[in-house]
Structure 1
Amino acid sequence: MDMSNTHNNTLWFFKHKGFDDKNIHEIFKKCKRLEGVRKENLSENWDYLKKIGIHERKLPSIVTKCPRIMTLDLNEKLIPMVQCLTTLSTKQHEVASAITKFPHILTHSVEEKLCPLLGFFESLGVSGTQLGKLLLHNPRIISYSIDSKLSGVVDFLAGIGLTKEGLIGKIFVKNPSIMGYNVEKRLRPTTEFLLSLGVTKPDLQHVAINFPEVLCRDVDKVLKPNFEYLKTRGFDSQQIATIVARYPPILIKSVKNSLEPRIRFLVEVMGRRIEEAASYPEFFQHGLKKRVERREKILKQKNISCSLSEMLDCNNKKFVSRFDLVEKFV
């Protein structure tokens, strides 16, 4: 084989597909093996990716991210992986979408990586349908090591008491991003911080099951600043622990865009004390304009007094019935 001629044909192929000189230099730098790939093989892989539903306009970006996919054997690597991923999909576009998000998924082995990974999740109680959703919506997961990464997260969650069958699998399905975080650098510090606030271990389990995203946030950049802000507004440590236990996302809400406007409205417009929010932490969960402000205006017009929970902890129909209102007011 004339390597020089092959290299020139490869260059011509990528230029013909719309790559500029800078991008061509970048992909050859990332993947030296491209230099020895025949133009016919490049065309086969390119056409196959189009055939499975990837728009041609997206292919240059995909190849730039992972040029190695153009060097893979079509019949031995690409087709088997795509066929396996297709068995996990419930919608036609899901496999193409997963490849677009993380083209490196095609470089992994079905036998050595994908099958063991699926077996790992099945052992955690993740169902077949959930497996497809988990992997195709978060294809980067295939790059995680079972032994050094995923098992560590499982052991950590089991260590805080989540040993009931299927619980950890449900957490992974609910928030797959938790698998991408380092236990010692992120997950353990967040749990230790929550415990330091006075949150109990059962409360911590509630956080992990229902709001795993809280465990994924940085203590110094997010959790502590929110905690300090609540203290400046007059909540004591015990009240904050109670609020966090009942509505953990309060520690990751934007102070400027979420917490501050709600507390200001509570105190300055509604004329209520912050202790009421401490007794009903779900106050921070309700939409400010669509629910809190609207219902406050209606009750004020009717000169009706009630607690925050009576005002907010019901749908519109029950709200109308509870305060004997006319439907059009809500």
Structure 2
Amino acid sequence: MACSMDVLRWSSCRVQVHVVKQARGFLITKSNVSRVCAFSDTELGDTERGLLYSSRPRIYKLRKSRRVYCEREGVGDAGDQLRNEALAVVVRSLVAAGIEEEDAVRISLKCPHFIQTLVGRSSEADEIVRWANLSLGAEGESEGSSGNGLGEVVELSGPERWSVVLEFVGVNAQATNRISRALSGSSLPEFLKKVKFLEEALNVSQLDGRIFERKVHQMMRRLSVATDEDLQQTLSFFEKMDAQRGGLALLASAHYATARLVEGFPLIFLRDLDTELRSVLAFLETVGVSKESLGRVLLLFPPVLLCDPDRELQSRLRTLKKVGVRAMDLGRMIVRYPWLLSRTTQNNVDEIVEFLLSVKVLTRDVDRSITGCPQLLGCSSGRTLQPMVERMNMLGVKSKRLGYVIAASPQLLVRSTNEFNEVVDFLLKIGVQETDLGGMLKRQPGMFASDVETVLEPKVQFLRDLGMREDVLHRVLRFYPELLTMRIEESLRPRVKFFQDLRFHNEAICSMICRFPPLLSYNPEPVLKPKLDFLVNSMGRDIFEVVEYPRYFSYSLEKKIKPRARVITRFKIKCTLTEMLALNDDQFSAKYLGMGSMLVPPR
């Protein structure tokens, strides 16, 4: 009977030791995130032999008092202990990979997901070991045994180190494995240097999220040519970002944008920092892109960092110089349209030049048109430009006059017919006659390239708020459409306030604008104030005479107003302000002096 009990005890021990071996295997396969010290099969054999001859099951005990680590209840906060051990593991592994200890500590504190995973796997492994101990009837740990914690025994693998660093950078967990494989040929310290370099470049630009989002949407909407691989990858990147919560506006954050660039363009971070990445930025600065604009250019066209400045970028810009674009304008063009640096636009230059010449744009104006609107190089002449030409023809703008309109506002060509029709419908709605649209287009082409909601409507509302009646509003805009392209805060409001400060009521101001629509185009200090001062102080007239004749402000003070005033004073002529200035010299002399010509008295 005793023999049978020994056999049963021996069998039970064999089973339990097998469980320990399984736990050991589990801990190893769980990416080395266990808190047990590694022990050899030989040691397990010693344990097994010890269990065979023991009178009762005891907790697994290894040579040198090493044991399977089981948490003791009631001793400190186990969660904090595990977390601290995990942080120590991460720091030690990053330092071993060549990262400075200070940076390693900072990184470890900003990868909570990986730390939690590390702790979770360790706890899961402990449960298996604890079950093994309890199933043997262990009641506690043996005296003299000492535990080895997670921080003492674990080393992170290469992919795990990348997981830590990528989480610190801000890469999404779903993309970590893909990115770590793509960047496996780079060292972690070098990768972090490139991340810091790019983030600093983006941070200098201080982008406005909403403005950046509108810019990207506009560029994507107006691109109508077949794209090369780099530009297609850029489009895919923006489409993916646009579909996410928060959209493209989130890219205004340099840290967030850098993380997304790591996900979307990992090959950038395989480039050499000094000989390749820095050289691209140096080249862009050489051609005129300011440091404040570099980040914006990089974010709108990330593949530029994959280009060779001398062999590729220089060649693409040389194509523009051949059609007359000045070197001094290249930087400004790149900032406005970074896709200018792609092969797509380079291949489209000849087609655009040929099209501009075909619609009567003068040869000397072709380069000005491209400089003024580099987005032209991303447009198909057949799908985008030609429909706009036909739409302008319908308004009566044809032949040489068409060439002038395009040269004056090449932005018109890159707009869709729907956008153009929105402006037309807006003008018709406020009372402009359809027959007047062609004349307005010839006079102020830029108005038809403006956005209705953000540009045109606010100007109309400003005039309405000033008190202008609807029945005269359209007449003012028909005679002087430039009002719709002037800035409210920088131009219109300060000039209205100038008259208001002189006690001109809004009704009087509206009356002056109706009589002379260009009134608000004159600056107060250099134009309006000197002429009013002369009117009141030198001529002795009432300041409100200008309400009846606001065209007074259009005459030169030195060449017309002062000479005419001297004649009136010399001959004591009584006349209105209108009669004083509306007549030319001969007419004025014949009417008031009775002679065919007028001699202006000396000063």
TM-score of the aligned structures, taking structure 2 as reference length:
0.47
Question: Among 289, 299, 321, which residue is 1:50 paired with?
Answer: 321
Are positions 1:294 and 2:572 aligned together?
Answer: no
Deviates more, 1:107-116 or 1:209-218: 209-218
What is the CA-CA distance between 1:95 and the residue it aligns to? 0.6
Equivalence for 1:78: 349
Counterpart secondary structure, 2:561: helix
What is the CA-CA distance between 1:238 and the residue it aligns to? 3.9
Are positions 1:312 and 2:577 aligned together?
Answer: no
Q: Distance in 2 between matches of 1:16 and 1:263?
A: 50
Determine if contact 2:344/2:378 at 8 Å carries over to the other structure: no
Are positions 1:137 and 2:408 aligned together?
Answer: yes
Pairing of 1:1-330 with structure 2 (within 5 A): 19=287, 30-34=300-304, 45-56=316-327, 58-59=329-330, 62-63=333-334, 65-72=336-343, 77-147=348-418, 149-165=419-435, 167-219=436-488, 222-324=491-593, 326-329=597-600
Determine if contact 2:359/2:403 at 8 Å carries over to the other structure: yes
Q: Distance in 2 between matches of 1:261 and 1:153?
A: 38
Q: Distance in 2 between matches of 1:151 and 1:19?
A: 38
Alignment root-mean-square deviation, CA: 3.9
Q: Distance in 1 between matches of 2:493 and 2:298?
A: 45
What is the CA-CA distance between 1:277 and the residue it aligns to? 1.8
Determine if contact 1:234/1:274 at 8 Å carries over to the other structure: no
Q: Distance in 2 between matches of 1:208 and 1:176?
A: 14
Q: Distance in 2 between matches of 1:251 and 1:232?
A: 15
Determine if contact 1:19/1:60 at 8 Å carries over to the other structure: yes
Q: Distance in 1 between matches of 2:320 and 2:501?
A: 56
What is the CA-CA distance between 1:229 and the residue it aligns to? 3.5
What is the CA-CA distance between 1:284 and the residue it aligns to? 2.2
Deviates more, 1:205-214 or 1:195-204: 195-204
Determine if contact 2:287/2:327 at 8 Å carries over to the other structure: no
Q: Distance in 1 between matches of 2:290 and 2:520?
A: 44
One-letter amino acid of the structure 2 residue matched with residue 103 of structure 1: P
Determine if contact 1:99/1:105 at 8 Å carries over to the other structure: yes
Q: Distance in 2 between matches of 1:207 and 1:201?
A: 10
What is the CA-CA distance between 1:312 and the residue it aligns to? 0.3
Counterpart secondary structure, 1:53: coil
One-letter amino acid of the structure 2 residue matched with residue 154 of structure 1: V
Determine if contact 1:34/1:70 at 8 Å carries over to the other structure: yes
One-letter amino acid of the structure 1 residue matched with residue 411 of structure 2: R
Residues 1:19 and 1:219: Cα distance change in structure 2 (over 3 Å): closer
Counterpart secondary structure, 2:434: coil
Residues 1:276 and 1:94: Cα distance change in structure 2 (over 3 Å): same
What is the CA-CA distance between 1:65 and the residue it aligns to? 4.8
One-letter amino acid of the structure 2 residue matched with residue 248 of structure 1: P
Residues 1:250 and 1:30: Cα distance change in structure 2 (over 3 Å): same
Determine if contact 1:42/1:70 at 8 Å carries over to the other structure: yes
Q: Distance in 2 between matches of 1:53 and 1:214?
A: 33
Identity in percent: 24
Residues 1:75 and 1:53: Cα distance change in structure 2 (over 3 Å): closer
What is the CA-CA distance between 1:99 and the residue it aligns to? 1.6
Residues 1:307 and 1:61: Cα distance change in structure 2 (over 3 Å): closer
**Structure 2 unpaired stretches of 5+:** 1-267
One-letter amino acid of the structure 2 residue matched with residue 211 of structure 1: Y
Bigger Cα Rg: 2
What is the CA-CA distance between 1:49 and the residue it aligns to? 2.5
Determine if contact 1:54/1:97 at 8 Å carries over to the other structure: yes
Task: Give deviations 1:105-127, integer Å, cap 9, x for gaps.
Answer: 21212122111221222222222
Determine if contact 1:178/1:216 at 8 Å carries over to the other structure: yes
What is the CA-CA distance between 1:224 and the residue it aligns to? 4.5
Determine if contact 2:408/2:445 at 8 Å carries over to the other structure: no
What is the CA-CA distance between 1:59 and the residue it aligns to? 4.3
What is the CA-CA distance between 1:96 and the residue it aligns to? 0.9
Q: Distance in 2 between matches of 1:113 and 1:273?
A: 56
Counterpart secondary structure, 2:486: coil
What is the CA-CA distance between 1:230 and the residue it aligns to? 2.6
What is the CA-CA distance between 1:251 and the residue it aligns to? 3.3
Residues 1:44 and 1:31: Cα distance change in structure 2 (over 3 Å): same
Task: Give deviations 1:141-182, integer Å, cap 9, x for gaps.
Answer: 3343432x32222111001122333x2232122112323444
Determine if contact 1:125/1:169 at 8 Å carries over to the other structure: yes
Deviates more, 1:89-98 or 1:136-145: 136-145
Determine if contact 2:316/2:346 at 8 Å carries over to the other structure: no
Determine if contact 2:479/2:517 at 8 Å carries over to the other structure: no
Determine if contact 2:388/2:415 at 8 Å carries over to the other structure: no
